[in-house]
Chains A and B, each alone.
Chain A
Amino acid sequence: MTKRFQLPVLLLALLAGAPLPVMGDDDLDQFLDLNMEELLSMKVTSVSKKQQRLDESAAAIFVITSEDIQRIGATSIAEALRIAPGVQVAKMDSNKWAVSSRGFNGQFANKLLVLMDGRSIYTPSFSGVYWESQHTVMQDIDRIEVIRGPGAALWGANAVNGVINIITKSAAQTQGSYAQITAGNEDEAMVDLRYGGRLTGSIAARGYLSFAERGSSYGTELGGGAGDDWKTMQAGFRIDGKLGTGNWTLQGDIYDNDKNQIIRNQFLDPFDPANNPPNPLSPYVDLNIPDRVDSEGHNLLGRWETNLSARSVLTTQLYLDHTERDEFLLGQKQNTVDLDIQHAYTGIAGHQIIWGAGYRSLDESYRGTPSGAIPDQDSELYNLFLQDEIALLENKLRLTLGAKLERTAYSETEFQPNIKMLWLPKPGTTLWASISRAARTPSTMERRGVITTAIIPTIPLQVTVNGNDGFESEDLTAFEVGYRVQPSEATSLDIALFSNQYSNVATYEIVDLISFPNPADPFGAPLLVPTKLNFDNKMDATSQGVELVFDWYVQKGWRLQSSYSWLSIDADKDSSSSDNFADAVAENSSPEHQVTIRSIYDFSERFSFDLWVHYYDELKVTSLSNTGSISDYTSLNLRLNWRPTEALEFSVVGHNLTDGRHPEFVGETYITHTEVERSIYGQVRLTF
């Protein structure tokens, strides 16, 4: 171990220095042997209890439960996010998703923090998530917490527009054998197998295997299959133990995915003799070339949560993560080592304090191509945070003050404070407001990368967008208010309003131009063509939005959930900016209106029928390199489930039933344009 680990080790040592005799989360049976007096004298940890009830949190939070995931028939994590208000999910091709929260969606959307059981899963090259590589047995997901708005004060780097927290079930909750087989026209064949057992009385474990073969979407420009079918293979395990002073978890995954794609325009090196003389029809560019994205990775995570006392819980987490992704554009390898400690303390009356520190080491290596390159990189990230929730009036009024200090290789120390107020005027009614600052730190691409966006064949010359050592963090100041109310026992309403002010937003500034005679008018003004652009921060933006969720428990076995989201973004380039695209994309790549209506209905214990309608407003511009809009669409999704015995379930699921196909998003230049097709699949689930 190197010296760089000393600081966290010392902090940990200070906290763990005086371990108290603490009983773990033992089985209930052990408690039942105690008498009343013993139970009443037992010390009870007040810390976990202090984890806020969701309807009393001062943040715009929506939870996708394990049941929701089953009942919408989501076969991937990205698809499950479609039911969350204020979240934009759009499919770019069969194996690529654009996902964002509160706008700024794009193929390389970069303002979300996504965690899977505490492990950050965004890719440092572009600060975004390759959603197609994030998978587990869907049945083993306990819940997905979606927090819109900045979570920067408590969460890790990149929590600017939202935090998505994917939490899997504990090994104890996934005991026994489970097999799931899925077959359909788009989700062609999928097999998930899981086995859970006990290693000892207090240590539970599970292991899983997951295979999937998925079909291609419709290629708009190709007039047929988009050549984007894909295969995934993944295995993993989780072990949870209750031993000594607390609970511990050890978990890991390994995957190997092959994803096909068709490259619209694969740039060739104009100075390579092999490419000369150029093809006169497409000089230095190969069009519609089939390509394969080869991605693989593995990770290992250990977490240890210990009760130092009834009012003090220390959590320590260490993970290692390796990802590789190789495609025509770029080859990437990233190794991450991350250590986090967090201490929750309720020992001072009226205060709930959480503080912690994190350290991450990143080792990135890249294979460049004529289309793009990033130099290899070793870097470190540090953070330190403190949050205090103060009860101003018990059970009525709470003030939360928090701040995080964060330092990455590409940013100064970022100070990200927030202040939140929560008011509970009466049971069942919550009002909250918050002001926070968050920083979206630069990605490796924005600082060091180079991307070819065109080739001027006559010279020849590559037009490139270049990383810029002066590229700074994007800043956000967010103002939010929210209101939750239960008008009756069967209904609840959650409204969140926000106004975000961004500065230093990324732009693409012209650094070099060439002029040459206009072939149409050789004696007129020459054509000016930019040949070199740099990433820069010459834009401000503001966004406003409303998100509304209404839940209605109509009667036993029938629930309706509807949500509506409105979003408006205005982007303003600095007067010195020469960028021609960034503002239009920021303003138009996310829908102004989004509506979701779900009916969740049980005919009986054995039969259920679910309906889910989703409206997504038009997108006028979705990428820097493509003009052309995406029309609004409404998708109808149905699921019928039959459970003949406790152990056996059959379901039939249809997605996008009302239209044969529709486009959802156009990514950046290099992938062919596609449309999402109607999908129908059958599924058998067996628990034994």
Chain B
Amino acid sequence: MNLAVSIQSYWQPACGPVLRRLWPLVFMLLGNLMCTQSSGAADAVASEYKVKAALLYKLTHFVEWPESSPATTTKEFGICVLGENVFGDILEPLRGRRLKGMAIKVDYYLQSNEVSQTCNLLFISQSKRAFLKDILNSVAGTAVLTISDINDFASQGGMIEFRQEKDSIGFSINLEQARRTGLTIAAPLLQMANVIGHSGG
């Protein structure tokens, strides 16, 4: 069978001839599982919210919270998700890790009026986009870093917006919004982002 030969030619030499000679279906199912080496991260394909979860964690290293805020005075670093839990259990491994000398806690909220003052970071799910204005107003006075993948989140008054680039994830930062609540965002992060609302001060 010509086709079988052409399939085999794609296979890496690391896979032994025994596997190759097997019946094509078994070959493909098992061959693909066992023979493909996991290569570097750059050309791999990852699940979207796993990358977003890692970005949430990494971003915090570039952000300073004002010392007086409730989020800083508690002993825990609050990572909070509002709306549909799009992360599933992806964020769970963060629990107990330490960030800025605090233990991370992860909380999920269905309603914006329940969101605790002790959240350092609030991820707003797309399920809440109909109520985005109200939600942003309700947290406007607190030093909480708002992040979302809702379209135009940054221009509507959110702080960090994850955007879908061609095949990867990019982000926009609304710097003015962050400064208004006393958050400081370090320059290296701004260089990686598309900064909007840059007042130059």
Binding site for B on A (CB under 8 A): 1, 5, 9-10, 12-14, 16-29, 31-32, 34-46, 48-49, 53, 55, 173, 241, 243-246, 248, 302, 304, 306-307, 309-311, 316, 395, 426-429, 486, 488-490, 553, 556
Contacts and interface: CB of A to CB of B under 8 A. Distances in A.
A43 B129 contact: no
Contacts of A26: 46, 50
Contact of A28 (B53, B130, B132): B53
Contacts of A302: 29
Interface in B75-124: 89-91, 93-94, 110-112, 114
Nearest to B150: A427
A26 B46 CA distance: 8
Contacts of A22: 36, 44-45
21 contacts: A12-B28, A13-B24, A20-B43, A22-B44, A27-B93, A31-B46, A34-B41, A39-B169, A43-B44, A44-B164, A44-B168, A45-B47, A46-B164, A48-B47, A243-B33, A244-B33, A244-B38, A310-B45, A316-B29, A489-B130, A556-B114
Interface string B1-34: 0011011001000000000000111001100111
Identify whether the interface residues of B are mostly helix, strand, loop, or mixed: helix
A310 B134 CA distance: 35
Nearest to B83: A489
Contacts of B50: 25-26, 28, 31
Interface stretch (B54-62, B66-74, B172-180): B54-62
Contacts of B90: 28
Contacts of B112: 489
B37 to A, nearest CB: 7
Contacts of B36: 19, 21-22, 244-245
A49 B54 CA distance: 17
Contacts of A553: 110-111
Given A9-B24, A28-B93, A42 B29 contact: no
Nearest to B82: A489
Contacts of A38: 41-42
A39 B167 contact: no
A306 B55 CA distance: 24
Contact of B111 (A45, A307, A556): A556
B199 interface: no
Nearest to A55: B127
B25 A42 contact: no
A12 B32 contact: no
B45 A43 contact: yes
A428 B131 contact: yes
A245 B32 contact: yes
B32 A48 contact: no
Contact of B48 (A5, A21, A44, A316): A44
Contact of A427 (B7, B34, B48, B130): B130
B35 interface: yes
B51 interface: yes
B54 A21 contact: no
Contacts of A246: 32
A488 B6 CA distance: 58
A428 B39 CA distance: 41
Given A28-B54, A35-B58, A45 B168 contact: no
Contacts of B63: none
Given A23-B38, A31-B51, A44-B47, A36 B3 contact: no
Given A28-B50, A53-B127, A306-B32, A1 B23 contact: yes
B195 interface: no
Contact of A40 (B23, B37, B135, B192): B192
Nearest to B39: A21
- The 3 A-B pairs with the shortest beta carbon distances in the complex, nearest first, are A428-B130, A23-B44, A31-B54
B155 interface: no
B33 to A, nearest CB: 4
A17 B7 contact: yes
A21 B129 contact: no
A211 B18 CA distance: 44
A535 B48 CA distance: 53
A408 B74 CA distance: 65
Contacts of B132: 427
Nearest to B34: A244
Given A28-B50, A316-B29, 4 more contacts: A17-B7, A41-B168, A427-B130, A489-B131
Contacts of B24: 9, 13
